[in-house]
Amino acid sequence: MTPVYIGLGSNLAEPRQQLEAALAAIARLPGCRLTRVSSFYASDPLGPADQPRYVNAVAALECSLAPLALLDALQAIEQEQGRVRKAERWGPRTLDLDILLFGDLQLDEERLRVPHYHMHARAFVLYPLAEIAADLQLPDGRPLQALLADCPCVGLERLPPATGAAPPTGSA
């Protein structure tokens, strides 16, 4: 089983519920075991400013799937939750699931780049990731803590748990 980290984001159609439904679907994937989930965070959009704020989180898995098989499974979850891929980059979406890290793998293929490109500069990825894996080291040897030091958390807000919601598995 390989340790894998998935970034989750949504800013349409009840974003918090989109992330909760995605986490439930990820937990049901054959060959994968959901082990930790960060808190949910609100973040400003990267693309056009005339869209709602995002809700983001990071999930940790133990996975026996190959990287592209996991990507296919995650994209199927996105589609099941109403994701429509458009030419517009960084536009609003019901759900975005990104493979951030896949063990120590460094992969640069047409469909998948791991570690995820630009994760080193995205507070909405790094801060939730640090919440569940503070001592993580990237495949290139850089410690997560060094990336955090270079990435201010401007526009990032940790959200309180939803009323009646179970605490994230990362908080135990």
Q: Is 28 noted as a catalytic residue in this protein?
A: no
Active-site hit among 16, 36, 72, 98: 98
Q: How buried is 87 (Cβ within 10 angstroms: 0-12 exposed, 13-18 middle, 19+ buried)? A: exposed
Q: Is residue 125 part of a domain?
A: yes
Q: Is residue 172 part of a domain?
A: no
SS3 141: coil
Active-site hit among 33, 83, 89, 150: 83
Active-site hit among 50, 89, 96, 150: 96
Which are the contacts of 122, defined by CB distance < 8 A and separation ≥ 6?
A: 46, 151
Which ranges of the chain have pLDDT less than 70? Answer: 83-91, 163-172
Number of domains in the chain: 1
Q: Is residue 171 part of a domain?
A: no
* CB atoms near residue 9 (< 10 Å): 24
For residue 155, the model assigns a pLDDT of 86
- CA–CA separation, 34 and 16 (whole Å): 18
Q: Is residue 57 part of a domain?
A: yes
Q: Is 83 noted as a catalytic residue in this protein?
A: yes
pTM: 0.90
Active-site hit among 36, 93, 111, 142: 93
For residue 88, the model assigns a pLDDT of 58
Tell me the β-bridge partners of 2.
63
> Looking at residue 111, which CATH number applies to its domain?
3.30.70.560
For residue 87, the model assigns a pLDDT of 54
Tell me the β-bridge partners of 96.
9
Residue 15 sits in which domain range? Answer: 2-161
For residue 171, the model assigns a pLDDT of 42
Q: How buried is 169 (Cβ within 10 angstroms: 0-12 exposed, 13-18 middle, 19+ buried)? A: middle
